[in-house]
């Protein structure tokens, strides 16, 4: 049975006035929920999360109102997460994001940074973010993209559509251990097949598959990197192991001929990978190491718990480093920091992510 990590529906509301926006969302949430329930009964597929993504939030819109509508409807129609609020660096509403992310469980947000001069102002938002709320906010640098991965999932197209991504950790282990791609090929083909079938049954466009391998706790991408490199994660050889894995994924995508979209690079979310947590506790890598892995085939600096108080000037420089890497690679990158009131080197409990180590920025 194929295990889909995320199926994301990208919506495109034309009108954002209170009643029209709410009516639009309710119709779409209801229709896609019904279509998905029928789809899951019909086909042998296990879905980990069902998600909705909206476009950039118009300047005239009250963010609190949008968050409230979306949260209520997501609860009613059993939508796991909604990538709801997307702002650009100069937007004065950025200052209100922290309280919204704290108060609305299913709401995710992103901020696009294009201007190096704005990095310092944007970085100040982390003064007011604590814990889990940080996991729901991403800083976005580089080109726009359509990806099912949150929080950077947003609709940049004039049409509505879906994108999805599978869990491929076990298939990657087999490819590395046995030197065969058959299991990976099967998962990619099945994922595309499910995406096309669901798009037809839900009357929505099919945007493609993001082939980025991403972990979840015991399903560890760090373990795959160690298999590929022959080294503990963080030691010499880690860059090579990451590159080797992405070579296998690209080869498989070409062989299957699937339509790809999004990052199509390795995800290293520290808080979501149990072995990444262990290697951090052992002191085998730090934030600078994670930053360096982006240069090969990693999609950003992701889900990193950092000790407060934070120096927003340092965060601004980190954003600028990411921006430079995005320009050199010609790809989108994301930043998700999780500020916590704890000493670096300590271990804290973080909701669904369990115990996580706190790094020094």
Could you read off the pLDDT of 53-69 as tens digits, one per residue? 999 999 989 999 999 99
pLDDT score of 33 more than 50:
yes
pLDDT score of 172 more than 50:
yes
Per-residue pLDDT band for 116 (boundaries 50, 70, 90) equals confident
Q: What is the rounded average pLDDT for all residues in the chain? A: 94
Q: Which of 112-121, 187-196, 315-324 has the lowest mean pLDDT?
A: 112-121
Q: Report pLDDT for 332.
A: 95
Q: What is the pLDDT of residues 236-264, one digit of tens each?
A: 999 999 999 999 999 999 999 999 999 99
In the chain, the percentage of residues whose pLDDT exceeds 90 is 88
Domain ranges of the chain: 2-357
Q: Which two tokens stand for residue 156?
A: 């940049």
Q: What is the pLDDT of residues 184-229, one digit of tens each?
A: 999 999 999 999 999 999 999 999 999 999 999 999 999 999 999 9
150: which residues sit within 8 A by CB, 6+ positions away?
6, 8, 51, 53, 81, 83, 108, 136, 138
Q: Report pLDDT for 2.
A: 62
Per-residue pLDDT band for 45 (boundaries 50, 70, 90) equals confident
Q: Which of 117-121, 231-235, 318-322, 332-336 has the lowest mean pLDDT?
A: 117-121
Per-residue pLDDT band for 49 (boundaries 50, 70, 90) equals very high
Task: Tell the burial category of 277 from Cβ atoms under 10 Å away from its Cβ (0-12, 13-18, 19+).
Answer: buried
- Range 279-303 average pLDDT: 94
- Range 5-23 average pLDDT: 93
* Beta-carbon count within 10 A of 313 CB: 12
- Range 260-281 average pLDDT: 96
Q: How far is CA 15 from CA 8, 24, 75, 84, 259, in A?
A: 21, 9, 22, 15, 31
What is the end-to-end Cα distance of the chain in Å, rounded? 41
- Range 135-158 average pLDDT: 95
- Kindly report the CATH class assigned to 2-357: alpha beta
| CA nearest to 112, candidates 81, 142, 145, 149 | 142
Rounded distance between C-alpha atoms, residue 301 and residue 299, angstroms: 7
Q: Report pLDDT for 35.
A: 95
pLDDT score of 1 more than 60:
no
Whether the pTM exceeds 0.85: the reply is yes
Rounded distance between C-alpha atoms, residue 190 and residue 184, angstroms: 10
Instruction: Tell whether omega for the bond before 154 is within 30 degrees of 0, i.e. cis.
Output: no
DSSP 359: B
Where do we find the tokens 């937007």? 91
Rounded distance between C-alpha atoms, residue 61 and residue 73, angstroms: 18
Q: How far is CA 88 from CA 92, 128, 139, 173, 330, in A?
A: 9, 19, 10, 39, 19
Classify residue 262 as left (phi > 0), alpha (psi -120 to 50) or beta. left
Angle at 108 (CA atoms; ends 117, 280), nearest 5 degrees: 80
Q: To 10 degrees, what angle do helices 169-178 and 182-201 make?
A: 150
Rounded distance between C-alpha atoms, residue 270 and residue 223, angstroms: 13
- Range 69-97 average pLDDT: 94
Concatenated DSSP letters of 277-336: HHHHHTTS--HHHHHHHHHHHB-EEEEEEEESSP-HHHHHHHHHHHHHHHHHHTS-EEEE
Strands 161-166, 2-10: pairing is: antiparallel
């Amino acid at each position: 049975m194929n295990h889909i990590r995320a199926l994301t529906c990208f919506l495109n509301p034309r009108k954002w006035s209170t009643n029209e926006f709410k009516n639009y969302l309710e119709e779409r949430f209801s229709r896609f929920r019904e279509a998905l329930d029928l789809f899951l009964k019909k086909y042998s597929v296990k879905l980990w999360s069902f998600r909705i993504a909206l476009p950039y939030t118009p300047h005239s819109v009250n963010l609190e109102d949008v968050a409230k509508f979306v949260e209520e409807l997501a609860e009613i129609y059993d939508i796991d997460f909604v990538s709801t609020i997307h702002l650009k660096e100069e937007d004065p509403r950025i200052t209100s994001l922290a309280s919204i992310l704290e108060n609305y469980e299913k709401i995710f947000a992103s901020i696009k940074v294009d201007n190096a001069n704005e990095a310092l102002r944007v970085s100040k938002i982390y003064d007011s973010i604590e814990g889990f709320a940080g996991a729901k906010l991403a800083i976005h640098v580089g080109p726009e993209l359509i990806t099912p991965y949150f929080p950077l999932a947003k609709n940049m197209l004039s049409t509505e559509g879906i994108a999805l991504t599978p869990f491929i950790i076990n298939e990657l282990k087999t490819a590395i251990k046995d030197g065969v791609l058959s299991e990976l090929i099967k998962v990619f083909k099945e994922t595309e097949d499910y995406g096309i079938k669901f798009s037809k049954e839900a009357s929505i466009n099919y945007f493609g598959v993001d082939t980025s391998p991403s972990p979840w706790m015991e399903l560890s991408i760090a373990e795959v990197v160690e298999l590929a490199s022959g080294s503990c994660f963080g030691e010499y050889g880690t860059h090579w192991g990451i590159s080797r894995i992405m070579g296998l994924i690209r080869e498989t995508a070409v062989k299957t001929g699937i339509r790809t979209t999004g990052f199509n690079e390795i995800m290293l979310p520290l808080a979501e990978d149990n072995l990444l947590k262990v290697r951090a506790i052992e002191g085998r890598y730090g934030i600078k190491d994670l930053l360096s892995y982006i240069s090969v085939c990693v999609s950003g600096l992701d889900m990193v718990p950092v000790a407060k108080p934070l120096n927003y000037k340092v965060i601004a420089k980190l954003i600028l480093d990411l921006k430079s890497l995005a320009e050199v690679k010609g790809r989108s990158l994301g930043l998700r920091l999780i500020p916590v009131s704890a000493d670096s080197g300590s271990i804290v409990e973080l909701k669904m992510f369990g115990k996580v180590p706190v790094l020094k920025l």
